[in-house]
Structure 1
Amino acid sequence: MDKKVVLDLLAPMPKPVEAINKLIAIFRTESAPLEIKGEGSFIGLNQEEGESRVLLVLEGALNIYRIIDNLRFARASYPNIFGMQGSPFRNNLYQFKREKGSLIESLPYSLALELINDHRLFNEVLAFQTYLSDFQAYRTNLLISKSTYQIVCAFLFELEMMPPEERLRTSVFNYIQEHTHLARSGVMKILSDLRQGEYINIENGKLIAILKKFPREY
């Protein structure tokens, strides 16, 4: 096998749940349920009227996709907020899909800014924006200038950190491929080698457990 080094990847800061919940509580005084045309439809941050909006994830989750290539950037579970950065450039980079059973509300971006100012929620906004910035940097660090082996290992670690009920519903290959668009043959070979080496336990395509530390080189 080619020698590919596994790099230690730093995880982003924990989600600032208290700050997010405080922001959501204030935003919900003016938000309304999000109207979605059909189950599985993409949701954007730019409204037809021209003004951008803020999305509140109150139950369930949103999946975030990069518009240019439909790469699944991340899954964002509740509580969460999107659209706070208010940048037309960023708003045109990503779109969202609601998971079945999720509860999403929205409000205009300009109104969200007024509420932040009126209730002096600057510390909460800073904490949340720092978290988003860290997560985006983490994702970029994970994918750029890394070997296929390094990327596969990193996403296996992500799967391991999922709640068990969610992980056991998630196909290992689909999860990695949706987030990376790596070639199927390369991903499957690495997963097969890790299984044969008894580093991972996969049953019916789902990750049961990581059994021991991955080899530093592949």
Structure 2
Amino acid sequence: MDKRPVPDLLTPMLKPIETINTLITAFRTASAPLDIKAKDSVVQIQPENAEARVILILDGALNIYRTADNLRFVRAAAPNLFGMQGSPFRNNLYQFRSEKGAVLETLPYSRAVELVSEHQLFKEVLDFQTYLSDFQAYRTNLLISKSTYQIVCAFLFELEMMPPEQRLRTSVFNYIHEHTHLARSGVMKILSDLRQGEYINIENGKLVAILKKLPREY
């Protein structure tokens, strides 16, 4: 069955897990546990009056929000790391909030750069930065100059790609709204029409499956 996305919404490269694990292994020779006090604790990459740091996500996830409008940019699950850009501007564009049970470690940005040099990990850093850049471009492409229908379809495909146990705990509307701030009425109308057309199966507000290729036009 052809389940390619609605045309125009290109998807970024796959998460380079092997590359990320290689970087994490090197960085853990100098990292220390990061104490998380509670769910949704803010994790600062650029602490005030302190050196920038790199955050390693060993288990669980961080949710990343745009500082300007509190839009959830992405859920970044382990393995992952952030802070290698080394740019205060980029670091302050987003807020990082830990999920309950997340296991995080941290090390100074300057020490991470030293370890990259010591272990000759320049290609791994470049590959990972390419992935981050592509994902940011994908999100921008998805949200700018796209119809509500195109955006809803794109996030339905994102939900479909989640592991089933995570997808079936995730409200379709909440997921779309947190990432887009689209009006409830418009999103719910599109979801209702897709259900009635038997394009998607939603039970208790959760996406069970995309049943067939979504229409190009709404």
Q: Please indicate the TM-score interval, normalised by the length of the shorter structure.
A: over 0.9
Aligned to 1:200: 200
Aligned to 1:55: 55
Aligned with 1:92: secondary structure? helix
Aligned with 1:213: secondary structure? coil
Aligned to 1:130: 130
Q: Among the aligned pairs, what percent are the same residue? A: 77
Aligned to 1:181: 181
1:57-72 correspondence to structure 2 within 5 Å = 57-72=57-72
Does the CA contact (< 8 Å) of 2:167 and 2:207 recur in 1? yes
AA aligned to 1:38 is A
Show structure 1 runs of 5+ residues with no match.
1-5
Cα offset for 1:192?
Answer: 0.6
* Superimposed CA distance per residue, residues 121-167 of structure 1 (whole angstroms, 9 cap, x where no aligned partner): 10110111111111111111111100000000000000000000000
Aligned with 1:89: secondary structure? helix
1:110-189 correspondence to structure 2 within 5 Å = 110-189=110-189
Cα offset for 1:103?
Answer: 0.5
Aligned to 1:28: 28
Cα offset for 1:37?
Answer: 4.0
Aligned with 2:63: secondary structure? strand
1:13 equivalent to 2:13? Answer yes
What TM-score comes out, normalization by structure 2 length?
0.95
Cα offset for 1:43?
Answer: 1.5
Does the CA contact (< 8 Å) of 1:55 and 1:83 recur in 2? yes
AA aligned to 2:95 is Q
Does the CA contact (< 8 Å) of 2:38 and 2:100 recur in 1? no
Aligned with 1:39: secondary structure? coil
Does the CA contact (< 8 Å) of 1:155 and 1:176 recur in 2? yes
Separation in 1, partners of 2:158, 2:8: 13
| The 10-residue stretch of structure 1 (7-16 or 208-217) with the greater mean CA deviation from structure 2 | 7-16
Give aligned pairs, total: 213
AA aligned to 2:71 is L
Give 4+ residue runs of structure 1 displaced > 6 Å after superposition: none
Does the CA contact (< 8 Å) of 2:36 and 2:98 recur in 1? no
Q: RMSD of aligned C-alpha atoms?
A: 1.0
What TM-score comes out, normalization by structure 1 length?
0.95
Aligned to 2:3: none
AA aligned to 2:190 is I
Separation in 2, partners of 1:36, 1:100: 9
Separation in 2, partners of 1:40, 1:18: 28
* Superimposed CA distance per residue, residues 172-209 of structure 1 (whole angstroms, 9 cap, x where no aligned partner): 00000000000011001100111111110000000000
Aligned with 1:112: secondary structure? helix
* Superimposed CA distance per residue, residues 92-124 of structure 1 (whole angstroms, 9 cap, x where no aligned partner): 101111111111111111111111111111011
Separation in 2, partners of 1:120, 1:49: 30
